[in-house]
Structure 1
Amino acid sequence: MPSFADYDRRNYRTVDVATGYDGWAPTYEQTVLDKMDLALLAQLRRPEWAQVRRAADLGCGTGRTGAWLRTQGISHIDGVDVSTGMLELARARGAHTTLTEGDARDTGLPSDSYDLVIASLIDEHLPDLAPFYAEAWRLAAPGARCVLVSFHPQFMMVTGMPTHYTPASGAPVAISTHLHLLSEHVTAALDAGWVLTELTEMLVDDTWLAAKPKWAELRGQPFTMATVWTKPA
């Protein structure tokens, strides 16, 4: 399988995930657009959000996804994140029932307990997808959905841009980034037992270009994608 290093055009100094998101936490909300992830969630036909009683939000970050889930009527949301800085912001937001510092691949949350397992923009930080899908399967109750929002591998290959932020020093810092083809997602998820239910993609369009005019040459390129998986009842 290809490595992101084969496409990296930035060659920024790179830090581990916890260090990177701790450093990004103070400015994260100002640099991430809803079009990347929340707009994709709103397009999905599955899951039936209003029927979800308990959700596990893996890599919950500042609580953006949790807050969106609340607007869909989901009242119990357990969040897990590796970054203490991001968890502090999530606690202040107040969307989650519980928040735990931990790894999305080994959460410590109870087995067979969730109608929804959701993760947004975290899989590019995982060297291997299999442990994530296996942990999501462990957490999910029969009939549950697993929703994963990801950077599109085509976008990563075309732009050679890692996940990164710009600290006060002004020198961009990359957070450990891995490239995963769609086939890797399908293989890892199917091996864990998941059944593919839905796949949708977000393209760079006029809304994006209004915020990022330098991306004009990327118009029409897929930017993010959402996959929905079902655990058979």
Structure 2
Amino acid sequence: MVQFSDFDSRNYPTVDVRSGYAQWVDSYEQTVEDTMDLAVLDRLATPDWTEVRRAADLGCGTGRTGAWLRGRAAPGLVLDGVDLTPEMLAAAKAKGAHDSLTEADVADTGLPEGGYDLAVSSLIDEHLADLGPLYREAWRLVRPGGRFVLVGLHPYFIMAAGMPTHFTGATGEDIAITTHVHLVSDHLSAGLAAGWTLTEMSEAVVDDTWIALKPKWEKYRSHPVSAAYVWRKQA
């Protein structure tokens, strides 16, 4: 198993996921670039978002992904969000994209089995020590013929940059949130073991758009930075 500690070049003080996102919540949306995840979702050929009638947003955070999905789905979408951090759920509630919000682990959501056309997860997999429980819970939630879409940091970028998920604390200190490296093969193995069929994968690289946002990333030009996986539960 690949350990992030083998690549960590920052050595920031590290906090757990719930504590970290509770502290980050006020500046989160000013920090995370849409190019990292929402732009990748935009480029996917599948699923047809307009056909999604009920969706589960796993690790919904401040509601960014939910708002994005709400803007693309047909009217009447029922969208249920789950997150571990109460402060993030409060931000998502204020955004108003979700029909329900639940404080729970993404591996044990308590949401209804087979109740969803789509499960979606964005920028959370690097915080999971094991991908298997997430893929199995998404499988439980999605109806036959439904999809699971996961987008996250590319493992190559985490390793090449040696950079954990991090934020600037109240005192101006950089603080890391527990980060794990999951190879592409780890995603494939976990998804296939849970019963999913991979129907699409997309990898984004550091390009001109990224360099305009983060000029210091010029040294990473053309390096993979994020990836999306589209899985289907066979009918």
Question: What is the TM-score normalised by the length of structure 2?
Answer: 0.98
Distance 1:144 1:164 in 2: 33
Deviation at 1:2, TM superposition (A): 1.1
| Aligned equivalent of 2:48 | 48
| Aligned equivalent of 2:191 | 189
Distance 2:30 2:169 in 1: 13
Choose which of 221, 226, 229 in structure 1 pairs with 2:228: 226
Deviation at 1:85, TM superposition (A): 1.0
Deviations 1:100-130 (A, max 9, x none): 1111111010000100000000000000000
Distance 2:196 2:5 in 1: 29
| Aligned equivalent of 2:200 | 198
Deviations 1:49-101 (A, max 9, x none): 11110000000000000001011125211000001111111000000010011
- Counterpart of 1:56 in 2: which secondary structure? strand
Deviations 1:114-156 (A, max 9, x none): 0000000000000000000000000010001000001101101
| Aligned equivalent of 1:81 | 83
Residue type of the partner of 1:63?
Answer: G
Q: 2:116 aligned with 1:111, yes or no?
A: no
Deviations 1:150-173 (A, max 9, x none): 110110110000000001211111
Distance 1:158 1:33 in 2: 19
| Aligned equivalent of 2:147 | 145
- Counterpart of 1:165 in 2: which secondary structure? strand
Distance 1:130 1:168 in 2: 35
- Structure 1: tracts of 5 or more residues without a match: none
After TM superposition, the structure 1 = structure 2 runs for residues 94-173 of structure 1, keeping only pairs within 5 Å, are 94-173=96-175
- Structure 2: tracts of 5 or more residues without a match: none
Distance 1:131 1:170 in 2: 35
> Please, what is the CA RMSD of the aligned residues?
0.6
How many residues are matched?
Answer: 233
Deviation at 1:18, TM superposition (A): 0.4
- Counterpart of 2:27 in 1: which secondary structure? helix
Distance 1:114 1:124 in 2: 24
- Counterpart of 2:56 in 1: which secondary structure? strand
Distance 2:54 2:185 in 1: 29
Residue type of the partner of 1:32?
Answer: V
- Counterpart of 2:25 in 1: which secondary structure? helix
